[in-house]
Structure 1
Amino acid sequence: MNRRDAIMALFAIGAAAVPVTSNAQALVAGRGGRVARVGVLITSLGEARAYLSATVAGLRERGWVQGKNLVLDVRSPETNVDLYPKSSAELVAARPDVILATTYLAVLAVTDETESIPVVFAAISDPVKTGLVRSLSRPGGQLTGVAFGGAPLVSKRLEILKDAFPRMARLAVLYDVDRQGEAGLAQLREAAQQLGIVLLPLGASRPEEIERAFAEMRRSAADAVLVPASIRFFFERRRIVALAARYRLPAIYEHHLTADEGGLMAYGPDFVAGFRRVAHHIDRILRGARPGDLPIEEAMRYELVVNLRTARAAGFQLSPRFIGRADRVIE
């Protein structure tokens, strides 16, 4: 997505976006008061429109209004995560007051470019274990934000799958080898051992590797598959859902959108609420706080979504008791 497209997309979410240029700043400043510049590095504005809209709304509640005292500069590689370094370099060169980086790979790209500009993150699983910060209470350095889940959340998905399919004995885990994919496997192995389940970890990142991983699941007689959080897998979700259907493998995912689009079930955080909350961190930084002094917050609300249409099409029998656990059922 180029800069003009990003700006037009922000108009579509109800925000009068202004590009970061000296003329734009003069226009806003002419109305009186300080102009805050917030950079945004987002993987796909089209996919995350509702999330960015929530952040904009949260900033508005705190007195930061586009076209008055706030300028957003949005950059996106549009699902091609290999272009993160280019998008990040462009964003840092514009010298915003703070940058919102929406994924783990976005954070790495920004921190590779600058050590001085504060960075607020969202949609990051376990920032301590992945080495981004020292601790949640005192992250230190240039980073703060909202963490979504982590290793305990992956183990919770294992428990949900076992509850749905009590006879499950062999569980495939499709993890992203190019990300922090193995970060939660140690705790997952421990949880699996306690439940008497054999784990079959299969690493992948490229489409052809995902295809091979599912073929290996069949050869290994996997009973189900768990897909941990990964921005690559998020953009490959339709492929993964189709492969799970082809091999008739029950699958659980992080993002509710995957269940909406045909995945059997998903358990994960309320992303809209999390992205709205990052406005708090951005506001504090714009008012002079140091990011390293701002505690990282953890998502508070999690949602289990079950797609009964997918279950019926595959012939999976889910008990009424299990269906009753769901926060939302797709019929």
Structure 2
Amino acid sequence: MKILILLIVIVVLGIVGWFAYGSVSTKPTTQITAKPKVIGTIYFRPQHTDALEGFKEGMRKLGYTNKDITYDDVVILAGPKMEEDVNKAVQKLIADKVDILFVSFESSAKVALDVTKKSGSDLPIVFTTRFHDPLNYGLIESYKSSGNNATGVATNLTQSIQKTLLFFKEINPKAKRIAAFTDGFMIPGISDAILKELKDQAPRFGLSIVEYKTQKPPSLAKENWVEVADKIKLGDIDGLIHLPGHFYDSDDHGEGKSQEADETLLANRLHIPFVVPSEDLSSGGSFAFSDDFHASAGQAAVMVQKILNGIKPKDIPIEYGSKSLLILNLNRAREAGIQFPESMLSIANIKIDK
């Protein structure tokens, strides 16, 4: 009898416990919504707007929405004070407590690394480079591992310069002298690696680099350029290269004018091809060859995803840009009296004819 009573008690307690468990487990639980990550960006307008768009497009393609990430964008205008402006931008974004920093230019990455190091911040930095090798520029310890809080997508500068010089020879097989406006016209630290690479590679193509220089102050940039350019005669040079980062810019003078615009007029007068960085082709130049920075920024987005998933920047190898762009401005070529060969026309990604 006692055993029967004990069994009845156990069964009753079991039934009560089952109902109690069921009533607790079926209550709706409170959903905890994760706070969106904030990505700080520093980019140059208008030159690097395409890179910013490529980066954000890359994040969307990876499935991120405004519920997952938001952006804290800082615009920098190219000019003599841009390093100071980038320094302030990095400090602002650190103060804003962004989770990751994307920068579209190697000089910005260098400033960001210096600022984060001095402030003791381990803010992850993802960069794209345009005019320097990140190893030689001091951004990374190796392509396998940066050894710091940065990673990114690099331009293969040697390959880009070689291809550009080859295009000059394809346009004019007899070309010997390719010119650029250098010391006194360039903002220090931007085009120095390009100029060195041009000098190193030109002899391989039977070319030499002619430098036009000035010792006059940058405040007279336009006047200095005009004075030097007016002395260049037909036949002096066979091609012209626009080096990015210069004192003579559209912010310093009249509407719509820039060094690359006036260099286009010079190229027309001399009947020679004129190459510019792709971001400057809207202002001047007959052709451009470089990485597709829209695509490179998309590669950078994949690196940001890895960081969001917990991987440290130093554990993400540096990559080269996966795509190059050859852009031909057929209208400007006609104005200069030159013709692009079929070898260029057949591989051009974009042909502008207006």
The TM-score normalised by the length of structure 2 is 0.74
Judged with a 3 Å threshold, the aligned counterparts in structure 2 of structure 1 residues 276 and 241 are, in CA distance, closer, same or farther, namely same
Partner AA of 1:254 in structure 2: P
Amino acid in the other structure paired with 2:134: P
Of the three residues 149, 168, 178, the one matched with 1:171 is 178
Is residue 2:146 matched to residue 1:131? no
Which residue of the other structure, out of 76, 87, 90, is the alignment partner of 1:88?
90
1:306 alignment partner, one of 315, 319, 328: 328
Alignment check: 8 A CA contact 2:48 2:104 kept = no
Q: How many Å separate the matches in 2 of 1:168 and 1:214?
A: 24
Structure 1: distance between partners of 2:209 and 2:48: 32
Cα distance between partner residues in 2 of 1:114 and 1:268: 30
Q: Gapped runs of 5+ residues in structure 1? A: 1-29
- Once superposed, what is the RMSD of the aligned Cα atoms? 3.0
Which residue of structure 2 aligns with residue 212 of structure 1?
224
Q: C-alpha deviations, 1:208-257, integer Å up to 9, x for none?
A: 447635754664623211234559899889623322232224211221x4
Matching residue of 2:205? 195
Q: Percent identity?
A: 22
| 1:121 and 2:122 correspond | no
Structure 2 partner of 1:3: none
Q: Secondary structure at the match of 1:71?
A: strand
TM-fit CA distance, 1:135: 1.6
Closer/same/farther in 2, CA of residues 234 and 127 from structure 1, 3 Å limit: farther
1:245 pairs, out of 240, 259, 264, with 264
Work out the CA distance in 2 between the residues paired with 1:322 and 1:290: 42
Task: Tell me the residue number matched to 2:112.
Answer: 110
Distance 1:201 1:329, change over 3 A: same
The answer to whether the 8 Å contact 1:102/1:123 transfers is: yes
Aligned mates of 2:274, 2:237 — CA distance in 1: 11
Task: Report what 2:164 is aligned to.
Answer: 157
Say which SS state the counterpart of residue 247 (structure 1) adopts: helix
> Shift of residue 319 of structure 1?
3.5
The normalised TM-score by structure 1 is 0.79
In the alignment, does 2:35 pair up with 1:58? no
SS at match of 1:42: strand
Q: Structure 1 pair 318/57, CA: closer, same or farther in 2 (3 Å)?
A: closer
Unpaired stretches in structure 2, ≥5 consecutive residues: 1-30
After superposition, what is the alpha-carbon deviation per residue over 1:90-130, rounded to whole angstroms, capped at 9, x for unaligned?
11211211100111222123223212211100244411121
